[in-house]
Amino acid sequence: MLENPKYDVALSFLQQDVNLALALASKLQDGLDVFFYPERQEEQGGTDGMTSMRSVFFEDSRLAVILYRDGWGKTRWTQVEEMAIKASCFDGEWRRLFVLKLDESKLPDWISPTHISYRLDQFGIDGAVGAIKMRVVDNKGAIKPMTPLKRAELQKDEDDYQQASRDAVSAAGEARVREKIAELMQELAVQCDEINASGSMHIGHGEHRDEWSYVLTNGCVSVGVYWRWQRTPTELGVVRVIEFDKKLRLPNDPPIVVHHRPPQQLRSIEYKPSLSRAREVGWKGGEMKVFLTSKGLAERCVIAFIELTNKKLPQDRGLRPSARRSWR
């Protein structure tokens, strides 16, 4: 265990995740000394880069935090950082490692199977910050008191983020939101196709492009994913994920002949466009109100459909009047 390291936390990440790393560093700096390379370049000037970067992760930091996705450890600098982190872990210092998983890729084999990784999409950046601070304290670190200068810097970061958030859901951000809607629909298609190819179950699915919607069905129950524009000064629209007790029409289906009653809504959940601390447009809503990428939201929709197929649905006479109203 290091007694008096130069940094409390050192962040290792791929260049594509620099905005997320910046957001994480900004929050961690409320009480911790953080090594975030773009902000510490002057400390590396005039040194052997590989030697100095190795020292940061091997002996100068109480905790190494890996922002892990497929490709980490394969670039020049993350290879150097990986070797230093591995060396410290092989000396029995597994508690000095914190892995923040950004995608579904498998962790490297050298990471201990007993080491718990943290899923950013499940708990969000604020949850990650709390968990990292707890690990620092467990490693005999301490949360330092706030100073006026640090508070002013953090307030400016917060003001900048809030302004960027407002811009993201205003008319100025409409193009980015449209991209994320298209991305959501594409992810739904990819995930349904993967399940169908696996043979574990069959999901009928397709996009109604003229209606800004996507349908998942097994012929008995359905989930509809609907985007609706609601242009106001503070928002652009909303995604509603609605469960139904009957089949919904797929894009290539003939018009459905209704013999008894149309499909009835069972549950509806809303997700609105949101901006992450890493300045990425995504979605926030549901029960946990955590930030989701389009892939993460698509996963929730598909899982909701799978769970719906196992539910015992109410009979016609058991439906509440509010459930009989069609949102579409």
Worst-scoring range by mean pLDDT, 47-51, 137-141, 295-299? 47-51
Distance CA 227, CA 213 (A): 6
Specify the fold of 7-145. Answer: Rossmann fold (3.40.50)
Distance CA 198, CA 295 (A): 19
Looking at per-residue pLDDT, the higher value among 154 and 63 belongs to 63
pLDDT digits (tens, 9 = 90+) for 176-194: 999 999 999 999 999 999 9
DSSP per position, 126-190: HHHHHHHHHHHHHTT--PPPP-HHHHHHHHHHHHHHHHHHHHHTSGGGHHHHHHHHHHHHHHHHH
In terms of Cα–Cα distance, which of 205, 208, 209 is closest to 219? 205
Distance CA 228, CA 243 (A): 17
Q: Are 12 and 72 in contact (CB under 8 A)?
A: yes
Residues 6 or more apart whose Cβ sits within 8 Å of residue 2: 59, 61, 62, 96, 139
Distance CA 126, CA 129 (A): 5
Residues 6 or more apart whose Cβ sits within 8 Å of residue 251: 206, 207, 208, 215
Look over the chain and give the mean of its residue pLDDT values, rounded to a whole number.
85
Integer Rg of the chain from CA: 24
Burial class (CB in 10 A: 0-12, 13-18, 19+), 254: exposed
Q: Where are the domains of the chain?
A: 7-145, 172-324
Burial class (CB in 10 A: 0-12, 13-18, 19+), 91: exposed
pTM over 0.85: no
pLDDT digits (tens, 9 = 90+) for 47-74: 445 677 788 898 899 999 999 999 999 9
How much of the chain exceeds pLDDT 90, in percent?
49
How much of the chain exceeds pLDDT 70, in percent?
86
Q: Are 277 and 261 in contact (CB under 8 A)?
A: no
